[in-house]
Structure 1
Amino acid sequence: MVHPTALISTEAEIDPSAEVGAYAIIEGPVKIGAGCKIAPHAQIVGDTIIGDGTTIGRGAVVGETPQDIGFTSATKSGVRIGRNNVIREHVTIHRGSKDGGLTEIGDNNFLMAGSHLGHDVKLGNRSILANAVLVAGHVHIGNNTFMGGGAVFHQFIRIGDFCVVQGNGSFSRDIPHYCSALRVNRLSGLNVIGLRRQGFSPEDRAGIKDLFNLVFRSGHNLSQALTAAREQSWSEHAARLLAFLEAPSKKGVCTLSLRHEADE
């Protein structure tokens, strides 16, 4: 299952059921789980662990050093990738930037061609990054989120669960759970279609919508809106949205697009 032209370190641990294609490079103490497929010319290096059933596409580079001018090669950091992920051609995933730091990917994600995860990124489960999505260091991405092609994300921000992000958007602020985001740091509303497809009940969706309208459409600033929201009781999913908004990153939260902006 290992092509004779592949270059594999003696430190590497590869499950016998894994496949390694022509001219692939596996360098250092890499661990590759059962049923994984490493395509030709892929490179996997360093302290990288890849869970069962994951596919690494042609020319992808996983575990390389961060693009951080303060980084030293002696730093002991790594990459952890869960089960059943699809990582397509020329994806790049860099290792953590500090001793003990990890770039972590959960299960069942789909990273399309040319996408990039910078150092110390945390990606949850069942999310899709379309072609050429660029995620800078220390970004946290939730579960069941879709990022359109060419979207870019500044370091140290958070993207919640069940979000949808327009292609070619540019973001340097947090995108809350359940939201649809576009352009530059703008929300267009809730990911209504996505929530319905994911099985959220009408009651769940109504609770989320009520909180969203209070926070973003009441005319209050964010601090005032959150104060008002705390005085009410909310459903489980709406309460998760409230908790996200109450603990923003230092970058703050995206704002709601004006109607004429959305129409354009």
Structure 2
Amino acid sequence: MKIHPTAIIEDGASVHPSVSIGPYSIVEAGAVIGEGCRIESCVRIYANTRMGANNRVCHGVTLGSEPQDLTFTPDKARPLTIGDHNHFKEGVNISCGVKSEEGTRIGSHNYWMAFSHAGHDCIVGDHNIFANTATLAGHVEVAHHCFVSGQVAVHQFCRIGAYAMIAGVTGVPQDVPPFALADGHRARMLGLNVVGLRRNGFSQAQRSRIKAVYRLLFKSGLPRDEALSSAQRDYPGPETDEILAFVRTSQRGLISFG
């Protein structure tokens, strides 16, 4: 274990012997840091944080901090659970949970750029990118392979579907469906995240099927249930199943199209 002499590791913290910890960082009692993690300078890892292997935590990051919730008291704190191979750039802040027993959950292979933030009880999957100052309010769910651009603000309880991209300086007040490209002062769906789909190996046939499903849902004029049934019948496939499951379980409604 390589720990700078100015770092503070409280009694009761569990730190794997392979971990390195830089100057002036603090790991509180109760925190767990897994194999191969690299903790840089002036980082604070709070007591309820559980971190997997090979994460990099850059200067000034705070993980598992008190949520920005006026009703919070320390006895309500719930875990922040982090997977493997995440990269947290300078000034990132992730809150611990407060409302659910599982707390805040971050998957693996996510890239958090400088000063991005996830609030309490967020659920984030794998292989997502959050650009500078991207902000997730409490209870936001982000699937996998999403790109959330700089200065995006996602309202609490919203969901971001898999392979979606949200353009910079966008406010997201409702759910963003899978594979979509969203933009606007209040986010609108402009089309598909074509670049992201190509990068992740989606074929032309798959992209065409996704486009056809969204055209049917948003442009056909059919009642929602009828449009969903038609999409299931006319464009069968795993992408269709994912879109329809997302739409059917939406609590806040979907962003508008166009």
Superposition TM-score tier, normalisation by shorter sequence = over 0.9
Provide the rounded CA distance (Å) in 1 between the counterparts of 2:230 and 2:237. 16
CA distance in 2, matches of 1:103, 1:138: 8
1:127 paired residue number: 128
**Shift in Å at residue 100 of structure 1?**
2.1
Tell me the residue number matched to 2:190: 188
Superposed CA offset, 1:44-66 (max 9, x none): 01111111100111111111111
Correspondence list, 1:59-138, <5 A: 59-98=60-99, 100-138=101-139
For the 8 Å contact 1:75–1:99, the answer to whether it is kept is no
The residue identity in structure 1 corresponding to 2:34 is G
Letter paired with 1:159: I
Distance 1:176 1:78 in 2: 28
Structure 1 residue 207 displacement after superposition: 1.4
Q: Distance in 2 between matches of 1:138 and 1:238?
A: 26
Percent identity between the two aligned chains: 36
More moved, 100-109 vs 135-144:
100-109
2:14 match: 13
Query: Normalising to structure 2: TM-score of the pair?
Result: 0.95
Secondary structure class of the residue paired with 2:3: coil
Q: Deviation at 1:220?
A: 3.6
* Higher mean C-alpha displacement, 98-107 vs 164-173: 98-107
Superposed CA offset, 1:48-86 (max 9, x none):
111110011111111111111112211241101110000
8 A contact 2:66–2:77 mirrored in 1: no
* Aligned length in residues: 256
Query: Once the two structures are superposed, what CA deviation does each residue of 1:165-216 show, in whole Å capped at 9, x if it has no partner?
Result: 1010001100000000001130001111211111112222221111011011
1:137-164 per-position Cα deviation (integer Å, ceiling 9, x unaligned): 0000010000110000000010010011
Q: Do residues 242 (structure 1) and 244 (structure 2) align?
A: yes
TM-score normalised over the length of structure 1: 0.93
Q: CA deviation at 1:104?
A: 0.6
AA at the equivalent of 2:143? G
Aligned residue in 1 for 2:156: 155
Alignment deviations for residues 206-247 of structure 1 (CA, whole Å, 9 cap, x no partner): 211110110112234545532443454511112211111111
CA RMSD, Structure 1 to Structure 2 (Å) = 1.4
Unaligned runs of 5+ in 1: 258-264
Q: Which runs of 5+ in 2 are unaligned?
A: none
**1:231, 1:100 → 2: CA distance?**
39
